[in-house]
Chains A and B, each alone.
Chain A
Amino acid sequence: MSVASQDTAIRTGRAVRTLIYLVLVLFALFYLLPLYVMVVNSVKPLVEITGGGMMNLPQVFTLEPWAKAWSSAQIGVQPTGLSPYFWNSIKMVVPAVAISTVLGALNGYVLTKWRFKYDTILFGLILFACFIPFQIVLIPMAKMLGLMGLAGTTWGLVLVHVVYGVGFTTLYFRNYYAVFPTELIRAAQIDGAGFFQIFWRILLPSSGPIAVVSIIWQFTNIWNDFLFGASFAGADSQPMTVALNNLVQASHGVKEYNVHFAGAILAALPTLLVYIVAGRYFVRGLMAGSVKG
C-alpha cells in the first residue's frame, strides 16, 4: 500500500510544496475558526463577550458556563440544564443505531447470498428510503406513531430513525457483501451452518469496516436530527438538539452567549468523539471493495 502510494504520488519541487502547505494551513485555520470562537467564548465571563471581545482569548478563565449549560440553564420552563436531554439522546441513538445496523446487515446478507426472484427490485425500493425528504412523512408518521401508542416516546423516535436508516445501512452492507466470496457461504452450508449461524459466525466477524461506516453514519445523522425530535418527542423524551434550540431561543432574560457556546459544544461532542475514535475506519470502509487488495 505505502509503496504504491509513493510511486503514484506526484513529485513536486520544494517551492511548490511550501506553497501547497501554506494554502492547506490557511484553509485549516479558516475551518477551525468557528471551533475557536466556540471554545474561547465558552470559557469566559459574559461581560467579556458583550463588551465586544468575541475574538479575544479569555482574560478570566472560567468553566462556569459549561457547568450552567450542563446542569442549571433554563430549558423551556425548567432550569435543568442540558443533561437530561443528553441522556434522552443517548437512549434514542444507541438502540436506533444498533437496530438499523443489524437490520441493514441482515438485509445485505439476504440480498446478496440468498437471492430470490425480484430481489433487485426489492433492493431498489429499499433504496428509495434514502431519497424521501423528511418533511413528506411527518404527518403520516405522527398518525402511525399515535396508532401504535408510541407518540411522544423515545421508542417512537427510535422506530422513526430505524425506518429511515435501514435504507442506508442496507445499501452499505449489500455492496460490501456483494464482493464477499459466495464460496465461503457454500462451504459453511456444507459444514452444516444454518442461516443465522452463517450470519453471526462467518459474515458479521468479517464486516468490521462496513459496520463502522454504518455506525458513524447513523450515529451522526440520528444525533444531529432536529426535525423528528421537534415533531415527535414528548416533553420528557426531547433529544439534545431540540433542547439546545430551546436554550438558545429562550426569549426572556439576558442572552448568555457563553452558556450557549458551551451547550453547542456539548451537543456536538459525541459525534466529534465518534469521528475521532472510528474516523480512520470510516474512509477505509467506504473504500472497501472498490479497490482490490
Chain B
Amino acid sequence: MGFLDIDNATKAYGAVEVLHRVDISVQEGEFLVLVGPSGCGKSTLLNMIAGLEDITSGEIRIKDTLMNGVHPSKRNIAMVFQSYALYPNMTVGQNITFGLEMHGVPKPEREKALKEAANLLQIEPLLDRKPGALSGGQRQRVAMGRALVRNPDVFLFDEPLSNLDAKLRVDMRTEIKKLHQKLGTTIVYVTHDQIEAMTLSTRIAVMNGGYVQQLGTPQEIYDTPANIFVATFMGSPAMNVIPAKVAIKDGLPMALVALHDGSEVALPFSQQNMADWAGKEILLGIRPETITDEDAADRKSSNIAHLSNRIVVTEPAGSDTFVTMTLGGKDVIARMRSDADVRPGADFTFAVNMEKAIAFDPASQNRIAP
C-alpha cells in the first residue's frame, strides 16, 4: 500500500482506450515524474488523479481512501497548470487564497497561510498585483503558492515549466526541487522533457501509447531501460541503436558490427547470457558518452573495446564535441572531450565501454541484457 495508489487504471473514450491498466504506487514524500511524448496519456493520468477526468475502470486511492467519483476539491490535492491558470480578475493574494475561501477557511487563517506561502516563494511584494502585470516566472511562483497554501496530500504539476524560456526553466527546476526537499511533499509531475524527469524525480514512469513502459529510479531508467523506446527517449543525445550479430569467439560472446567500409569489428559483451543468442541478430544500445577516445575511456571499466572508424561529422558544443560515424549502417554519435583531435573524413580509434552496452531483441524491442 502506498500513499497514492493507481491500481489497474484504464481510460477509454467510447471504444478507444487511451490508457491501459496503469499500476503505480507512490510512497509518501516521493517525487514521481510521468514522462513521455505528446499523446502518451500522461496528462490524462494526471487529470484522473485530480478528478478532472473520470476513471473508466480500476481504482485510484489517496491515503487508502478510494477516490473514484470523488470531486476534485474533496481529494485534498493541488494542481499547478501549464498555463498557470491564474484568475485574471483577482490579485495575486486573492488568487492564492481563493481555494481556502471556497473551503470556508476563516479570514485570519487565510491571511496567515498567505503570508507563509508568500514568504516561502518570495512573492510578498507582488500580492496586490493582478496576474497580467507579472512575468512568466512570477506567475509560475504564484501558481505554486496557490497550490502550497492548501497544504494538500498530493501536489500535481502539469508541465509547469514548458511556458518559460530556457534559462528560467532551469532556475525554476532547481526551485521546485528545493521546495520538495524542504517540504517533503508527495508530488506527481508531468513533463515531456526527459532532463526535467531525470533531475527532479525520485522515480520516473516512462509512458508511451497509453502504456507505462517502465517505472523506476532515474538511474534504473537510464542504465537499464526496459526497451528501445525508453532507451532512446531518455538521454540526450539519444542512445545509439546499432544492428549487430552475436558470435562466440574464444568462448566469449561478441557483437559483430559493420564499420563504414563494410568490414566487421567484434565487440565483446560483458554479459555471459548473450551466448544463447549466438548467430542471431540483435540491436546493440550504446550511449554516446560511452564512446570516447582512448584517453577519456572509463578507467574503472573492465571491458573497453576499440574500433577504428571514419568520422563523418564533428559538432563542437563547447564542453564536448559530438562526433558522428557510421556503424551497422546507422549514424552513431560519440561524445568526445572538446580537445579531442577529430576531423571529418579522418579515421579515428574509438574506445567503447562495453560494460554499459545494452542488447535488445529486434523483434520484441525489449532488453535482453544486462
Contact = CB atoms under 8 A, between A and B. Distances in A.
A183 interface: yes
Q: How large is the interface on A (under 10, 10 to 19, 20 to 34, 35 or more residues)?
A: 10 to 19
A187 interface: yes
A206 interface: yes
Interface string A182-211: 011011111111000100011001100000
B81 A186 contact: yes
Nearest to B103: A192
Contact of A187 (B71, B79, B89): B79
Contacts of A149: none
Contacts of B291: none
B77 A190 contact: yes
A113 to B, nearest CB: 12
Interface string B52-94: 1000000000000000000111000111011101011100000
A186 B51 CA distance: 10
B81 A188 contact: no
B82 A205 contact: no
A181 interface: yes
Contact of A193 (B50, B78, B82, B98): B98
Given A193-B98, A193-B102, A197-B102, A188 B82 contact: no
A105 to B, nearest CB: 15
A193 B100 CA distance: 10
B89 A183 contact: no
Contacts of A190: 50, 52, 72-73, 77-79, 99
**Among A181, A189, A190, residue most surrounded by chain B Cβ atoms (within 10 Å):** A190
A196 to B, nearest CB: 12
Contacts of B102: 191-193, 197
A186 B89 CA distance: 16
A183 B81 contact: yes
A251 to B, nearest CB: 56
Interface string A158-190: 000000000000000000000001011011111
A201 B98 CA distance: 10
A184 B103 contact: no
A192 B73 contact: yes
Interface in A127-172: none
Interface residues of B, number: 20
Contacts of B98: 188, 191, 193, 201
A197 B146 CA distance: 18
B103 A205 contact: no
A187 B73 contact: no
Nearest to B71: A189
Interface string A211-237: 000000000000000000000000000
B85 A187 contact: yes
Given A183-B82, A193-B102, A197-B102, A188 B87 contact: yes
A6 B19 CA distance: 51
A206 B85 CA distance: 13
A196 B103 CA distance: 15
A232 B77 CA distance: 56
A189 B98 CA distance: 11
Given A193-B98, A197-B102, A187 B88 contact: no
A190 B88 CA distance: 17
A183 B103 contact: no
B85 A184 contact: yes
A191 B82 CA distance: 16
Contacts of A181: 83, 85
A289 to B, nearest CB: 15
Contact of B72 (A189, A197, A202, A206): A189
A88 B102 CA distance: 42
B180 to A, nearest CB: 20
B72 to A, nearest CB: 5
B146 to A, nearest CB: 8
Contacts of B79: 186-187, 190
B89 A191 contact: no
Given A186-B72, A202-B87, A206-B88, 5 more contacts: A186-B81, A189-B52, A192-B73, A202-B89, A205-B89
Which 10 pairs between the two chains have the least Cβ-Cβ distance?
A192-B73, A191-B99, A192-B102, A205-B89, A187-B85, A183-B85, A183-B81, A190-B72, A184-B85, A193-B102
25 contacts: A181-B85, A184-B85, A186-B50, A186-B52, A186-B72, A187-B79, A187-B81, A187-B87, A188-B98, A189-B72, A190-B50, A190-B52, A190-B99, A191-B73, A191-B98, A191-B99, A191-B146, A192-B99, A192-B103, A193-B73, A193-B102, A197-B102, A201-B98, A202-B89, A206-B88
